[in-house]
Amino acid sequence: MEVIKLKTAALDRLTDTEFFEFCQDHRDLRIERDATHQITIMPPASSETGATNSQLNRLLGNWNEETGLGIVFDSSAGFTLPTGAMLSPDASWVARARWDALSPDDRRGFARICPDFVVELLSPSDRLTDTMRKMEHWLEAGARLGWLLVPASESAYIFEAGQPVRPLVGFDQVLRAEPVLPGFALELSRLRPR
């Protein structure tokens, strides 16, 4: 299944609330919207990617359960960025103080906040160049740290605010999220397909 991109005047005029309702009406689809209001409908993740994503979220959630420093989100959570884009990372984390500062109404929609930490997994249906650009959007919107993980080639790209992208090859390594997530380290070998 291919990615579908929609751009019409009617969709351009959707308010954030109407876009949220549109997504709720089509909750079986994976939908994002960029800063120009182009809507992208993505195919479901492969089973293998879903299993890897579940493992990643579990590890991040375990760390957060121990520290209590923030809130962890899975790939079904959408965030409205200052640009007006609504994106959904595969895994993300927001510092507790920033999350607590949001109104209850904002938390129930696509929260108007950029996560402090985002992770994207490149699945077989994703294009590396598109996902690299998405990671740049996260940093431009205020993410402090982002990881783009490519299990198929056992490679990763580390995105940090104010720093050049750092490629990493080999899943026999450990990614550390200091200082954004104190003490969180990901043994990449745990993300290898089983």
Spatial contact of 85 and 110, defined as CB atoms under 8 Å apart: no
Is residue 37 in a domain? no
Which tokens belong to 67? Answer: 């520290």
> What CATH number does residue 150 fall under?
3.90.1570.10
pTM as predicted: 0.91
Sheet architecture: strand order including 70-74: 70-74, 91-95, 117-121, 145-150, 155-160, 166-169
CA distance linking residue 40 with residue 29, whole number of Å: 10
Lowest mean pLDDT among 38-42, 97-101, 141-145: 38-42
Q: Domain tally for the chain?
A: 1
The rounded percent of the chain whose pLDDT value lies above 70 is 99
Number of H helices, E strands in the chain: 6, 13
Determine the pLDDT at residue 181.
Answer: 97
Domain extent for 89: 45-191
Amino acid at 173: Q
Asked if the structure places residue 28 within a domain, the reply is no
Task: Give domain status of residue 184, yes or no.
Answer: yes
Please indicate, yes or no, if residue 23 is contained in any of the structural domains.
no
Does 3 score more than 80 pLDDT?
Answer: no
Q: Is residue 31 part of a domain?
A: no
Q: Is residue 50 part of a domain?
A: yes
Q: Could you tell me if residue 154 is inside a domain?
A: yes
Tokens of 134: 């998405």
Give pLDDT tens digits for 63-92.
999 999 999 999 999 999 999 999 999 999
